Amino acid sequence: MFYEDIAKVMTKESTSDGMGGWIEGKPTELKQIRVMSAPLDAEAVLRGFGATQNVTMKMFTEDTIPEGNIYLEYKDDDYRITHKSDYGKEKILLLERI
């Protein structure tokens, strides 16, 4: 496959504030990966407070993805990894817009 785009693998470290809550730190870039993305899939989801849009995406890569509390930054949007599949040389990521 032809991997023409770049996505940034990001993390945010959270520290305890000493009163039972958490303080989010600055985003840190762990690495950049070469990716190919499938078209976005958007659907309207009814919630208790009204309708919102749920945006999901499939992304393909050959690069390794680190474990832990990470997310991807791709074309100025942040995506949470909901599922990873490893097929040897190729990895498929299912993403959801944060």
Model confidence, pTM:
0.78
Q: Report how many domains make up the chain.
A: 1
Residue given tokens 């498929």 in the structure block: 92
- Please report the sign of the dihedral spanned by the C-alpha atoms of residue 44, residue 77, residue 28, residue 32: positive
In this structure, the number of other CB atoms found within 10 A of the CB of residue 66 comes to 9
Q: What share of the chain is helix, strand, coil (3-state, %, to 5)?
A: 0, 70, 30
**With bands split at pLDDT 50, 70 and 90, how would you rate the model's confidence at 16?**
confident
pLDDT value at 8 more than 90: yes
pLDDT value of residue 93: 93
Q: How far apart are CA 55 and CA 43, in angstroms?
A: 7
Evaluate if residue 98 carries a pLDDT over 90.
no
Rounded alpha-carbon distances, angstroms, from residue 49 to 45, 68, 93: 11, 31, 30
**What residues make up the domain containing 83?**
5-97
CATH of the domain at 88: 2.40.10.370
